[in-house]
Chains A and B, each alone.
Chain A
């Protein structure tokens, strides 16, 4: 079946602009995660959605970052007023309710802030 998909695959934006990154999880997966991969910080957790529960936002680095998940499926990560330190690869993952520990990752969106 189809895996996790993310769009766009690459995004170049100017400092100060807002960006939206999209994630389509595997069908039937109730949990969805966003991670960020950067040269300076490595791989770090950002936010986690599980079913209808309130999301765990404990990893978001600032209030410029937000995410939503509509209808328990597609998720959008929004970064407002982008800064150069936001440049990174943003990875999305999903997992089934019965196997939350097996996370399947998408190919990522490479964000470059100029």
Chain B
């Protein structure tokens, strides 16, 4: 079965610093890859996705992620953190040969210090 690993359940950065949230998946066949953000007491919002094509994907709010097949990774980055980025971030996959259901990682809570 497909699995998704997010390294670090909590990440703390200073405002203006680089944000790096790590995601690795287990699959010999690259799946479709997603990052979602969840603000307190809200649902999930799609930040960005990779299905095919360019491996560097840009999303909303200045975030981007790069699909690296050789490393089975899809890390999320943002050059400069803002206080409003504080939230929980979920990496997710859909196996590209089976269904449309998302399999999520455990989530990473991002804290931004002033």
Which A residues are in CB contact (< 8 Å) with B46? 102-104
Binds B, one of A14-22, A43-51, A71-79: A43-51
- Min CB distance A108 to B, Å, is 6
Which A residues are in CB contact (< 8 Å) with B44? 91, 93, 105
B106 contacts A105, C-beta separation under 8 Å: no
Which A residues are in CB contact (< 8 Å) with B99? 48, 56
Q: Is B43 an interface residue (CB 8 A)?
A: yes
Given the known A-B contacts A101-B51, A102-B49, are A107 and B41 also in contact in the complex, defined by CB atoms under 8 Å? yes
Total number of residue pairs linking A and B with CB closer than 8 Å: 52
Question: Please, how many angstroms separate the alpha-carbon atoms of A47 and B114 in the complex?
Answer: 41
Chain A residue nearest to B105 in the complex (CB): A42
Q: Is B100 an interface residue (CB 8 A)?
A: yes
SS class, residues of chain A in contact with chain B: strand
Chain B residue nearest to A9 in the complex (CB): B41
A48 contacts B41, C-beta separation under 8 Å: no
Q: Is B67 an interface residue (CB 8 A)?
A: no
Q: Please list the 5 inter-chain residue pairs (A to B) with the smallest Cβ-Cβ separation, ordered nearest first.
A: A105-B43, A43-B104, A105-B44, A45-B101, A100-B100
Which residues of chain A have a CB within 8 Å of any CB of chain B?
4, 31, 33, 35, 42-45, 48, 50, 56, 59, 91, 93, 95, 100-108
Which residues of chain B have a CB within 8 Å of any CB of chain A?
32, 34, 36, 41-46, 49, 51, 90, 92, 94, 99-107
| Sampled A-B contacts (20; CB under 8 Å) | A43-B90, A43-B92, A43-B104, A43-B107, A45-B103, A56-B101, A91-B43, A91-B44, A93-B43, A95-B100, A100-B100, A101-B32, A101-B94, A102-B49, A103-B46, A104-B46, A105-B36, A105-B45, A106-B43, A108-B43
> Can you name 4 extra interface pairs (CB under 8 A) apart from A42-B106, A48-B99, A105-B45?
A4-B43, A42-B107, A103-B102, A107-B41
